[in-house]
Every structure is written in C-alpha cells, then in structure tokens.
Structure 1
Amino acid sequence: MFFYTFLPALLNMSLTASVVIVFVLLLRLILKKAPKIISYALWSIVLFRLLCPISIESGLSLFGLLDTPVAASGTLTSSIEYIPNVHMEYPSVVLPAPGIGEAISDTLPQGEEQLVADPLEAPVAIATYVWMAGVLVMGLYAVVSCLRLRRRLITASLVKENIYLADEIASPFVMGLIHPKIYLPSSLGVREQPYVVMHEQHHIRRLDHIVKVLAFIALSIHWFNPLVWFAFVMAGRDMEMSCDEAVVRKMGDGVLADYTASLLSLATGRHIIAGMPLAFGEGDTKGRIRNLASWKKPAIWVILAAVIACAVLAICLLTNPRGQLLPFELGTLQISWAKTLDCRPNEPTSFDLNDAELGELKSRLSGLTIGRQDDDLAGLTPYYSISIQASGYYFSVQGFDTDDTHIALHYQGRYYRINDSEFSQYLRDICAGGTRTSAAEALPAVQEWFDYYNNGEMQWGGRQEINQEAFPGVTFRWTPEQVAAVLEDGEILPLYTGMPIWSVFFTDLTGDGLPELCSTLSIGSGIVDHRILIYDYANGVSYSLEDRMKYDYSLSLKDGLLMVTKQVYNTDNKGEVVENGYLAYLNNTIQIVPLTLAVTEPAASTTNVSYTYEELSEMPAEELLDLFIQNGLVINDDLKASFTEEELQTLFKENFHLWHTGVSAHSDTAFCDLAEQTKVIFDQIT
C-alpha cells in the first residue's frame, strides 16, 4: 500500500511547488527594484509547498485558474492531486502543462485490468527505491560535509560571545541550530569585521540558519526536480542580498563603499559548499556587489506596492482551489434514478424528459461547480443515485443523506463533493415528475437464434443460418467454431471465432437501430475460459467481457431480457456465481447492469377515507394488509412463495411501525421494496 500512495503524494507536492516556483520567479523579475527581503519572503511559499502536502481552501487560489484537481483531507483542507494513487480503476494524470497529462493518461492501464493485474505497482516500487537512494546520498553528503568542516574548525579561537576566528576557512559563515556560532576567517581585516559580523548577526536574528536547514531538507526530498535546485540557489542569493541591504540600511549609505570593499576582500579563495545544511557561507559575491552598486533607498510607494503584491501572491499560492468545473461538455443525456433503503438499491428507473426539461438540466450541469475530491465516500452506500450518460461520458450524482448534506459526483472511480443542495433537489424534482419506465422495460428487445450453453446439446457438426431484416442481402452463418456473414454474391466474411461458440442473440445494445450479435463462447487451448463477445456488424467492431483464468461470463435469456452471469473460473464445472445482471452498453463499453427488484409504482388510493397512524396500527393484521393491497401494494412473488398468506399478514403487521416510514429492518431487497411501497401508500391514505 505504501508504494501506491507515497510516490504519487510526493510527485503532487513537487509539481505543486514547481508551479509556485514559476510564479515566484516571474514576480521576482517584476519586483526587481524592490527590496530583496520581498523576494526572499516569496521563497517561503515554495518551502511550504515542498514540505506540506495539504493546505486550506480559498476562492482566491491561483491553482483554480489551472483547473487543478484537489482531494479532500479535512473539513477546510485539501491536497492538490495531479497524479492519483496507482491502485485505482481509472488512473489519470492532470498536469499544469496542456496535453502532457492526457498523453500520459492514455498510456496507463484502465478498468478492471488495472485493479487485478496491477501493472503499475512494479515501476512505482522501483521509482520509490530510486528516490530513497537519492535521499540517502543527499543525507550522506550533508553528514560528510559537516564532519569535514568541523575538523577544520578545531583550532578556531573565541573572539567574544559567539564569534570565532578560524585559520582554515576563507569565508565567514554561521554554523549551528540551537546555539549558532559565527566563524570569521583569520585573514579578514579589522576594518571589515564589524560589517561582516553585523551581516551574520542579522542572519541569526532572522533565523536564516534554521531556514537554510529546512531548505536543504526540502531539496533532499525533491532532489529529482531541477526547478527545486534552481529555487534553492536563487533563494540563497536573495537571502544574502537582503542581509546586505539590511546592514547598509541600518548603518547608513555612508558605509556602502566600505561594505562593498569588505565583500571584495572575501571574493578570493575557497568558499563553503552551497549545499552545506548546518552552515552557510557568503556566496555569489559578484551578484551581491552588483546589487549594492545599484542599491538606493526605495520610495515608500515602491515598498508598499511590493508588500501588497507579495501578500496577494502568498494567499493565491498558499491556498488550494475550492472546486473545479465539470471536465466535459454535455450532449445527449440518458438519465436514471435509483433509491436505496437499508443499503440495498432498487432497480434504476429511467426518465424521458421533454425538450424544456432537458435544456434546463444541461444548463444546470454545465454550470455546476464540483468540490473537493473525497474518496472516503467510496465506502458508503448512497441513499439515492442519479446516473447520467452524456456525450460518451458516464457519471452519477449520489446523495448519502436524506437531508442532502452529503452529495457527490462519481466520475472515473473518484468522488467529488457537491456543495449544492439546490441542485440535488432539482434532480429529485425531475425524478418525481418525470415519465417513468423501469430499467428493464428500457432495455432493447432480444431475439434468440440458439443457446446451447443453457439449453440443449451442442451440435458439433452442425451449421445454422439466419437472416435479419435490418441487414438485407446478408445471411448469418454459424458453425461451432465460427460466425460469418454470407453476402449475396456468395462471399463469406468471417466475423468471430470460438472453441466453440455456444449461443447467439440479436439485440440493439448501442441504440443505433441495428442489432448486434451477442454470444457466449470459449477460448483457449488446454486452459479454456468462457467469455461474452458482442459483434457490431453495422460498424465492424466487437466488444467483450472476459477475465482469463479468474472469471467466466455467459449469456442467457430471461423474461425477454439478455442476462449476464459472472462466475468464478473453473476448468471442470461451472463455478460459484458472483454477479448477475442485464447486458448493457454504457460509456462505450459493455457493462453489467445490477439485477435488482423493479420499482413498482403504487396505484392511486381506491378510497376517499383517511386514516390516522393509530387507527391503522390497531387494525387486525388481515384487514391492514388487505387495505394496502387494495391501494396498490404489490407483494413480490418470492415472498409469496416463501410465506403463507397468514404469515404475510403477520409480517406486515409486525413491521408496519417501521415500514410506514419507508425503513425496513431487513436487509433483503424484497422487504426494502415493501417498506418503500408502504410509505407511499401510507402518505396517500392518511
């Protein structure tokens, strides 16, 4: 699990910091004439992003302009997530550089293959070990550099307080964290010492010796990012130049020439290595002298403008965006509604919308702002789910509370918060007033050609032919190993093969008005698995449901509907059934629509008599159940087969105190359905 989460989190921090570095470098150019303390302060934003994976949310975040994906990490905090965790069904990369993220995403494995085969685990693990090796090298370098420097300071002599003179150094520096010490080269002239000491003391007062260590830690963590190396160097330069300006500003312009001369006196000889984490020397002498040569006390308005710009940029870059727009445009919508009770979903119900309703829904969806990513919702069962297929995209809006305090959009395996209860209520109003047809009724009609998998014995030497009105001049021919199309001129076009092909059904799954051929077939030599193949003859493409050596798939016809059975792979016998459902074509893929009870609309009340809850509760069991049946209550056939009439009456009476509220104490969907119907009828007759 560590390899799935750590490296993506590290890369997200590094990418976020890279964006901040670019903004800081741009503002640094704009504020070239401003005091260097402003530029130096801006690098603290980069340091924060390099070390902290989360931040608070704000509508002012500049990351919102880049459609940056965010993931919830708390009530007010979130993390930027350009790169998702590896072990997810549909991994996708969203980078701040246009086109690059899409190109990378196209190369990543998608769907169940990614969850089962896990092809990304090995490369991510290797990359993590390489990163660890890099951090180890950086740490060893720091330790060795520190030990070497300490050996050169053994002969250092105390001047006063925390100031030392050393013969083996050529540049002054501060060393230490808790009790920092100032080390001066013995060759430094008496005249230059006051300026240099004041410079180093300003470093200590400003806690630069601690900042330098934190910066080196950040560099060690993000050693693979060249922008971080560049930022480390530039921040060090701004640190030194801001200290130079502070000394000149404190002592007055009259010392400018002498201070510059002191820098020149240190411009020769060896310098402390810039990466030394526990000590820092006075590098980039040439740049510092150039800065002092052009330095003059800035006007108040320049300082004020620079401070305001720095503060605004800090707010914009330190915070994460609150949300993001839907990542696609909407076209034709197919909408379904499913409501759950006691964590058991009823069958989705489809809704046919008129042009006005469809236009309004498109408008609301197009302008909808999606909140933070919150994958914790994946472990919860929604109270209701509104599924929408739009322009080739498939997503759902899900509510997890009856009062709509938790609403999310589920898209490509991720959950995004929707902080808009008005939008959710709008969808629920549509579902309350829309034209309803059950999902089963909405599925296309099916014509069975033959089914040797479930009925009869395979005709190993047989051949069958059939014609379809949708394809005039074409005869479809089956043999156990092949399905082909025979054209009028006698040409035979092979469509697909199997070992054998057990069944063929015709149905219009894609909705183009032309039927596809749907088959159960076996594939393999020695190791054989069963799979489903759908051949779209009109477009010359095929789709399949398969999971070699893990699951077997088969088709069957039930009540005029094409059903899918998913079983544990078994070479000898049919294995354990793990899923049953309708065969459907969604989001350009073949999918299994869950097989659950259909939602039954209760009829209108057959009586004008109104009852109170107390009156209904006091009714005898037989009279109470008969009253609800008269008003449209439909009892599932499985329940009728499992209970006698008297037992059903007792069951209804005992559970009425719950069922009239729509809540069932039973987990079975049949009882959940009864509870839902009971509530609707109760509301009608009371």
Structure 2
Amino acid sequence: MEQLFIGVLNNAITVSALIIAIIVVRAFGKKMPKWIACMLWMTVAIKLVVPIQFESVLSLIPSGKPIPTNISMETKPQISSGISSVDEIVNPVISQSFTPEKAVSINPMQIFFHTGALAWLVGMAVMLIYAATTYMLIRKKVSASVKIDSRVYECDDISDSFILGTISPKVYIPSSLSDEARVYILKHEFAHLSRYDHLWKPLGFLILSVYWFNPLCWIAYILLCKDIEYACDEKVTKNIEKGEKAEYCRILLENSMPRNMISACPVAFGGTDVKDRIKNIVNYKKPAFWITLASIMVCAVVGVCFATSRNTNTTSEQQTVKLAQAQAENQEQTPKSEKSVWTRLYEGDETAADPKLELKETTDPKIIDFINKFYEAQASGDIETLKGMHKDLSEYSELRTKAMADHIEKYDSFNIYNQPGPHEGTNIVYVFNTVKYKEYDKPIPECSWFYIYTDENGELHVNDNIADEATKEEWKHIDLASLQPSVHKVYKKYPQVDNDTYEKVIIKLNNEVAEQIKAEVNKNN
C-alpha cells in the first residue's frame, strides 16, 4: 500500500508543474478555442492515470520519481527531485526528522508513509461516498420523470436542466420551461452529449478523488468544469446570429442556479460561472485558422515539456558528471603535478592511485571466517551471534534481520576484498556475493561494504555507526579509499542487480519485511 501511495505522491508532485503551465496558457490564451483548453486538461488526466512514465529530452520536469520507491527503507532517506536547490533544502529536513535512531524499534519514515497511505485511502473513500450519495439523491429526485423524446425527460421536482448517466445518458429538463427556452437548453445539452462531457466530468472527479490532497488538482477540476461549459457554449453559438446569441444569454441567465459545492454529476445547463459564460458568448468570434493552429502547437509544447520527464538514467549520469565537475572546479586550474589527489582520481588519472589503498582480494583467514560467520547468522536470523559481531545492533536491525531470515534461502558465491582502514587493526571490506530468496527462482547479486575493527581482545567487529562517529581525518581516508581505481575495476567484475529485479523482488520483499516488523512491534506493545 505504501508503494502505491508513493507512486501517487510522485504523480501529484510532477503533475503540479503541468497544471500551473495550463493555468498560465489559459490566462494568456483568451482567443484560444475552448475545446483546445479541454484537450490540455486531458493531458493532466493521462499523466495521472497512465502508469507509464513518458520521457522526453525536451522535458522541463527533472525527475519522474522525486520520491524514491524505497525511501521508507533507507536509513538516511532523501528525495531526488532533479533540482539541486530543492534537494539541498528538503533533504536535511527529511534526514533530521526521519532518520532512525539506534534505540528506535521501527523506521519513522515507514510510520510516516503508512499513516499517510491510510489518510489518503480515507480521503478517497469520503470523496467517492460523496459522489455516490449525490448521484443516488439526484436519481431519486428524477424517478418520477416523464419521457418526452428518445433521450429527454421532463420532471416537476427539478429547477435546472442537466444530463445524468454515463453509459446511457439522459437529458432532464424542468416541466416549467417555456418552449423558447427548451429549444436553446436542449441544444446546449445535446452539445454536451456530442462532446462526451457526461463522461469527462465524472472521470475528472474520479481522478480528483485519488489526488484529493493536491490543491492544484482541485483547481484543475474546477477549471475543467468551466472549460467544458465554455466549449459547449461555443459549439452552440458558433453558427447562430447575434440576436439569437442575446436570446441564448437571456435564457442562460434566467435558468442559472447558484452552486457552492463541487459535484461529480450531473452536467448542468446553468451550473458553472454564468457571468463569465455570458461574457464569453457575447465576445465569441470564430477563431482564425492560424489561432487554432497556434493553440494546437502550444498544447503540444505544453504536453511535451510538462507531461513528460527526463530520462532517469541520463539524469543520474548528468548528476555524476556535475559532481565530478564541481569537485574539479573547487580546485585551482593547476598543472597535473600540482592538482589534488581527489581531482586527479575524479578525472580518471590512475597515476594518482595510492598503492597502500589498493583493493585486493582478501587472504586474511580471520576476515574470511568473520564474513562467512556473519552471513550465516544473517541467513538463520541468529541475533545473539550478530550482537557479538556488531559494535551496536539496534532493536530495529534485530527485527529486520529476523524478518529477512524468513525469506532468505542461502547466501552463496562469496568474493571478499579489503583495504586497510585509517587505524591499525581496521579494514574496509567489500563483499560481492549472491543471495537466494525463497520467493524468487534465481540468485540475486549483492554488494556490501563493511568497516571492520579489532577490539582490545583481538576480536573483529562491524561498526555500523562509522558514518556518525568518524572524525574528519577518518572520513578523508575512507573517501580517498573509495576513489581508488582498483575499487572501480573490482565493481566492474561482478554483475549488479538489474532494475527489473529490484522493482519486482527487492522492493516487494522490503515491503513484506516492513509489514512483519510492524506486526512484531504491535504485538510487543
């Protein structure tokens, strides 16, 4: 459920720019045919409904997934909007508020998204119940209608004309209407039917019910309802005389009904912004061909620039390049011999490698035995053994290890490499292996990084908290070690987990484990 909620959140965030762009186009495109404005809102609907992320090199949306799908499982959760200034402001707040602490039994980010998902479902249910209730009340009111034509019904209990129904829509009109008013009102309602507005409006409300938490989606729905009426009015009045326009406006004004609540149904004759509709009818002139063409081109540009996102792989590569460039720009443009080691390593200069930090295949039997014992304990959920091997094993890590053990069949194909750490008796250890999950038929490649130290008794331990405890000099050593050419060469030797497997297996598994942890916490409480 949380993964679905994150997907909805990503859609809600990325569609916001598209909605704002359409609002701007509407504001400046007064002469744009209103049916084209409705097409623009269709792009919003497509983006919110279609699960596929459309990509384009012309897109102005930096990332289609600003919230990573695995954010609730991260120990240091971060968003990746593709806008560095936004990430720099938001990520420190997220890290400070949602990073799990040692004594915390469950990741606060999981609680946040679980609670958010429940609130989202409740809000969606309220919206759908409201729509269903409104529909049933209107159906009850028109139940005593009299059929006067193939799709037209007359009713004593209504004061406004409207279309009700989606599969078999019917036009309902008040029995008190004059013959003159009836002619124009039926023209209007049948224009709605020819444009399938009786489908678009409920679909818009259904989408709004899913994205109810985004204020821009409410604005989009309100403007859609207005544009539907504007487009219908234009369809009715484009081929009538000026005097008939005046008569149509009079009938519209006389039959307008004030409405203060947003509704999913029905499509009503005088239900939306009558003052602006009359102004639009009076000022309407059939647009020149070039205006229509330009409007369609604007519609296409808005769709390409704001309804698509940039290629995520390309964005990631660009960020890597920018990081390397930023590191290089921080250094003075000096001759090769005077450049910093970091700059030279980022530039791929292997002569800057430090032989003492070369990543080598581990031959130390003590480290090999320690790693094998560590993974055996992980696979079996042996918490007591792991407690003796960790510097500090948090309660959350214990629960997660136990839960994961239920899914792990075995670890295999170990390849262990190490570099000397910043102090005597410390090692930076890389483990390349495979893990066979019970729910998946193939072994999945893994790569793990460990900071291992030797205690006063000569025993090895894993320090999971090195990121929080390392001094500036220790981090300098670890950072420099990670940049060594030998590290990159070793990584290239081993297969990495592909995106499809990650999405289908690992994320799904993480979600199941998160649910198991929640159940365990609730049982203990």
Q: What residue number does 2:279 align with?
A: 290
Q: Which residue of 322, 325, 331 corresponds with 1:330?
A: 325
Superposition deviation, residue 104 in structure 1: 2.8
Q: What residue number does 1:48 align with?
A: 46
Q: Which residue of 15, 18, 21 corresponds with 1:20?
A: 18
Aligned to 1:143, the other structure's residue is in SS state helix
Q: Distance in 1 between matches of 2:177 and 2:200?
A: 26
CA gap of 1:557–1:174, structure 2 versus 1, over 3 A, is closer
CA gap of 1:592–1:441, structure 2 versus 1, over 3 A, is closer
Q: What residue number does 2:501 align with?
A: none
Q: TM-score, normalised by structure 1?
A: 0.50
Q: TM-score, normalised by structure 2?
A: 0.64
CA contact 1:170–1:271 (8 Å) conserved in 2: no
Alignment of 1:536-615 (within 5 A): 547=393, 561-564=424-427
Q: Per-residue CA shift, 1:27-47, capped at 9, x if unaligned? A: 111111222222222111222
Q: What residue number does 1:246 align with?
A: 235
Q: Which residue of 80, 93, 98 corresponds with 2:65?
A: 80
Q: What residue number does 1:317 align with?
A: 306
Q: Distance in 2 between matches of 1:88 and 1:301?
A: 53
Q: Distance in 2 between matches of 1:172 and 1:253?
A: 24
Q: Distance in 2 between matches of 1:252 and 1:439?
A: 90
Aligned to 1:55, the other structure's residue is in SS state coil
Aligned to 1:109, the other structure's residue is in SS state helix
Q: What residue number does 2:31 align with?
A: 33
CA contact 2:188–2:269 (8 Å) conserved in 1: no
Task: Report whether the alignment pairs 1:167 with 2:167.
Answer: no
Q: Which segment is superposed worse, 158-167 or 99-108? A: 99-108
- Whose strand proportion is higher, 1 or 2? 1
Superposition deviation, residue 436 in structure 1: 5.1
Q: Which residue of 220, 226, 229 corresponds with 1:237?
A: 226
Q: Distance in 1 between matches of 2:52 and 2:35?
A: 26
CA contact 1:9–1:81 (8 Å) conserved in 2: no
CA contact 2:422–2:477 (8 Å) conserved in 1: no
Q: What residue number does 2:130 align with?
A: 141
Aligned to 1:306, the other structure's residue is in SS state helix
Q: Distance in 1 between matches of 2:170 and 2:196?
A: 12
CA contact 2:154–2:174 (8 Å) conserved in 1: yes
Q: Per-residue CA shift, 1:635-659, capped at 9, x if unaligned? A: xxxxxxxxxxxxxxxxxxxxxxxxx
CA gap of 1:210–1:118, structure 2 versus 1, over 3 A, is same
CA gap of 1:87–1:194, structure 2 versus 1, over 3 A, is same
CA gap of 1:107–1:273, structure 2 versus 1, over 3 A, is closer
Q: Distance in 1 between matches of 2:220 and 2:307?
A: 17
Q: What residue number does 1:438 align with?
A: 355
Q: Distance in 1 between matches of 2:67 and 2:291?
A: 37
CA gap of 1:113–1:144, structure 2 versus 1, over 3 A, is closer
Superposition deviation, residue 587 in structure 1: 6.1
CA contact 2:59–2:308 (8 Å) conserved in 1: yes
Structure number with larger C-alpha Rg? 1
Q: Which amino acid aligns with 1:88?
A: E
Superposition deviation, residue 197 in structure 1: 1.4
Q: Which residue of 102, 116, 120 corresponds with 2:88?
A: 102
CA gap of 1:435–1:298, structure 2 versus 1, over 3 A, is closer
Q: Distance in 2 between matches of 1:263 and 1:567?
A: 76
Q: Which amino acid aligns with 2:21?
A: F
Superposition deviation, residue 135 in structure 1: 0.7
Q: Distance in 1 between matches of 2:12 and 2:422?
A: 56
Q: What residue number does 1:449 align with?
A: none
Alignment of 1:107-256 (within 5 A): 107-109=93-95, 113=100, 117-256=106-245
CA contact 2:422–2:478 (8 Å) conserved in 1: no
Structure 2 stretches lacking a partner, 5+ long? 329-333, 361-386, 399-418, 429-449, 495-525
Q: What residue number does 1:264 align with?
A: 253
Superposition deviation, residue 53 in structure 1: 4.2
Q: Which amino acid aligns with 1:438?
A: P
CA gap of 1:576–1:188, structure 2 versus 1, over 3 A, is farther
CA gap of 1:265–1:318, structure 2 versus 1, over 3 A, is same
Greater length-normalized contact order (CA 8 Å, ≥ 6 residues apart) = 2
Q: Per-residue CA shift, 1:477-526, capped at 9, x if unaligned? A: xxxxxxxxxxxxxxxxxxxxxxxxxxxxxxxxxxxxxxxxxxxxxxxxxx
Aligned to 1:198, the other structure's residue is in SS state helix
Q: Distance in 2 between matches of 1:257 and 1:274?
A: 29
Q: Distance in 2 between matches of 1:332 and 1:296?
A: 59
Q: Distance in 1 between matches of 2:424 and 2:84?
A: 45
CA gap of 1:435–1:273, structure 2 versus 1, over 3 A, is closer
- Whose helix proportion is higher, 1 or 2? 2
Q: Distance in 2 between matches of 1:435 and 1:592?
A: 11
CA gap of 1:273–1:244, structure 2 versus 1, over 3 A, is same
Q: What residue number does 1:648 align with?
A: none
CA contact 1:567–1:576 (8 Å) conserved in 2: no
Q: What residue number does 2:57 align with?
A: 59
CA contact 2:34–2:230 (8 Å) conserved in 1: yes
Q: Per-residue CA shift, 1:251-291, capped at 9, x if unaligned? A: 45452112112202212x46595413465553222221121
Superposition deviation, residue 204 in structure 1: 1.6
Q: Per-residue CA shift, 1:6-28, capped at 9, x if unaligned? A: 33221111111211111001111
Q: Distance in 1 between matches of 2:34 and 2:154?
A: 29
Task: Report whether the alignment pairs 1:93 with 2:79.
Answer: yes
Alignment of 1:400-549 (within 5 A): 431=350, 434=351, 437-440=354-357, 547=393
CA contact 1:61–1:320 (8 Å) conserved in 2: yes
Q: Distance in 2 between matches of 1:546 and 1:240?
A: 65
CA gap of 1:277–1:579, structure 2 versus 1, over 3 A, is same
Q: Which amino acid aligns with 1:245?
A: E
Structure 1 stretches lacking a partner, 5+ long? 70-78, 334-353, 363-387, 396-425, 444-528, 533-544, 600-661, 665-686
Q: Distance in 1 between matches of 2:126 and 2:336?
A: 65
Q: Distance in 2 between matches of 1:36 and 1:227?
A: 20
CA contact 1:330–1:390 (8 Å) conserved in 2: no
Alignment of 1:293-312 (within 5 A): 293-312=282-301
Q: Per-residue CA shift, 1:272-329, capped at 9, x if unaligned? A: 9541346555322222112112222222322222222122222222222233332546
Aligned to 1:91, the other structure's residue is in SS state coil
